[in-house]
Each structure stands twice: as structure tokens, then as C-alpha cells.
Structure 1
Amino acid sequence: MITIQAQKYDGMPHYTWQAKLLDLNDEYLIVLSYPETEIKHFSKNEVFTVNNWWIELYPFKKWFTISMEVKNRKPRDIYCNIAKPSSYKNGLLTFIDLDIDFAKRDGKWKVLDEDEFETHQKKYNYPVEVVNKVWETLDNLQFNLKNNYFPFDGTLETYISQIPEYKM
């Protein structure tokens, strides 16, 4: 198991949880989060429990993360965090969450939390380069989705076979 920690732009923990490492290479890390995984949310001072499996991708050079919910061995919701590139060292994966999300819920894709991005852009004084990279990344994700390019090319789905039999 490894620990994953999302951080805010100032480096403070935002939320954290543990997951099983499935793949690690020079480009990204992929993990599997189990049902009943507890996610500690620091800013809300709460602990949430996930109900299904999640296959998660954390690129080391790209400005996003992706979590794909899997129910009954089929992909369901997908959640893309716009984030600074992930970092992995000594069993700890970290990334800076930049607020805007691109998500598929109930079969529909939506951009979420633009208001939170605007608020935090001022609060944390995001440099113009970061702001531009956020919008560029969102555009790239939408383009890649439309054209079935990575990470929407079936890469995450290939890991569904690694979900063990599990009784809740």
C-alpha cells in the first residue's frame, strides 16, 4: 500500500488515503483503491468512505490526475483533477490540486469547481503560468476525450482485471 496526498497550492494537506500500487513507470503511477477506503479530508476535517473500486492514474509530467470508479467490473464515473504533476517518493505520492475538475457523472462530462479555482487563484496568488497551464490542460483533456487519446484510450480499463474478488 502507498499513501496518496493531495495538497493545496501552499503545500498544506488537502486530503489523503491509501491505495494498492498497480503500476509504476517513468510516465505515471497507477493505483487501486478498495471499497471501504477512508479518505481524510483536511480542509473539511472529515473522513469519507468510498463505496466502490477506483483505478487512479497519477502522471509525473502532465498536469492532471484521473480516478475511474469501477462497479461490477465496469467503468462508471471518471474524475479528472487539474493538478501540478505528481511526485512519488518512499511510498508517498503527492500532487498539488488546482481546483478545477473535469468529470463524468451519470454519463455526462462536466467542468466543475471553476468558482473554487477563481477563489484560490486569488488566495494563493497563482502565477499566470500556472493559470494558463490549468486552462491548457483542461482543453487537452477535452480534446483527448473526443479523440480517444491517452488517458481516454482504454489504458485505465486494462487494469480492471486486477481487481480481486472482494466481499463487503
Structure 2
Amino acid sequence: MWVQQYKYGGRKHYSYPVRLIEERSDVIIVHGAYGRPLTHPGRGLVDWPVPNESIEFHFTSAPCSVSAAWNADGSFRHYYGNVNTPATLSEGVLSLVDLDLDLLVTEDLAWRVEDEDEFEAHRREWGYPEEVVELARSALAELIQMVEERRFPFDGSAFRLREQLSRSGAPRAESARRT
């Protein structure tokens, strides 16, 4: 299974392999193994080994996704909330459109907004319609509220899932290459 993220207008942003953990009506939960190969055309990266492990929550009913990431030594790195279109899954590819705004969240749930400048630049350059601008801003506000209220997945769910995966012997490295 692959995550394929686009930028507004259909530009490929990045892709990487993941393992499906659970598919619900409102969210698709995946595991990104340490060292999974990421391709990022905008940065000229092909099969770049991602230096963290992640449990990712890609919402199909909300315009956001959340990744919980751990370093190679097992220490928690951060949560990363991404404002994007609701995820879709088709033929093993989880697709979404990145809308630039992000929320970096520490383990103690302190947060800061990232990439507001990128959002404003792309809004002008790519001509985001007003409904896309409103969607992105309301999604960011919802992400912040989720953190502050400690709602799923900021309720410890990622830590519990990672522990379950660890007990089940989930692979720590991904050798798959996208063709």
C-alpha cells in the first residue's frame, strides 16, 4: 500500500509505502516503517530513507491527517497534523491533496502552526478558490481543537497501536520500492 500526496492542481508532492493497520468508515490508519523509501519530486528525492517510524491517521471524513512519529532509538519525535483534502483509497493507493498548513505537536501536546507563509504563497500563485481557503483554515482550527481536547488520535491511540504492532513483530524497515 502507498500514500500518494499531491499539491493543489494535481502536482505530485510525495509518496511512500505503508502497511494498512485498520480501515474504518472515517479514518484509514497505516504504519510507516523506519527507513521507508520516500519519493519527493519537488526536492529531487528518490527512495530517500525516512528517518522515523510513524502511525498515521488519514481521515476520509475530515480535511486532515495526523502522523505520530518515533525516532530510530524509539523516542517519540512528534505528532504532525496535516491540512489536506479527505483521503481516498483506491487500488492500494491512499491519495490526498496537501493544503500547506500544518500543526507540529509535541508529546506534551504543545503545538505550533507551520507553513502559513507557504499557504499564502500557494494561495496567490495557484489561485486557491475561497472555498479551499476556508476549508484549510477551518481544518487547522479543528486540528488545534482536537489537540486541546485530547481527542482521537491525540488521546494516546498512536502509542497503543505502536505497542500492539511491536508485540506482533511488525517490521522495522521497509524494503519495498515503488515501480
TM over 0.5, shorter chain: yes
Task: Considering fraction of residues, name the structure with more strand.
Answer: 1
1:43 is paired with a residue whose SS is helix
Aligned position for 1:104:
105
Q: Tell me the distance in 2 between the aligned counterparts of 1:145 and 1:83.
A: 17
Over the residues paired in the alignment, what is the CA RMSD in angstroms? Answer: 2.0
Q: Which has the higher contact order (CA 8 A, sep 6+)?
A: 2
Deviations 1:66-100 (A, max 9, x none): 11112455543111110010110110000000011
Percent identity for Structure 1 against Structure 2: 28
Q: Tell me the distance in 1 between the aligned counterparts of 2:80 and 2:31.
A: 14
Q: Which amino acid aligns with 2:13?
A: H
TM-score (norm 2): 0.85
CA contact (8 A) 1:75 1:157 kept: no
Q: Which amino acid aligns with 1:16?
A: S
CA contact (8 A) 2:76 2:107 kept: no
- Seen in structure 2, the aligned counterparts of structure 1 residues 77 and 30 have a Cα distance that, compared at 3 Å, is same
Greater CA drift, 91-100 or 108-117: 108-117
Aligned position for 2:143:
141
**How many pairs does the alignment contain?**
167
Aligned position for 2:52:
52
Aligned pairs for 1:1-168 within 5 A: 2-47=1-46, 48-71=48-71, 75-104=76-105, 108-160=110-162, 161-163=164-166, 164=169
TM-score (norm 1): 0.90
- Displacement, 1:124? 1.8
- Displacement, 1:152? 1.4
CA contact (8 A) 2:34 2:172 kept: no
CA contact (8 A) 1:64 1:81 kept: yes
Unaligned runs of 5+ in 1: none
Unaligned runs of 5+ in 2: 174-179
- Displacement, 1:166? 5.5
CA contact (8 A) 1:22 1:31 kept: yes
CA contact (8 A) 1:22 1:30 kept: yes
2:43 is paired with a residue whose SS is coil
- Seen in structure 2, the aligned counterparts of structure 1 residues 165 and 86 have a Cα distance that, compared at 3 Å, is closer
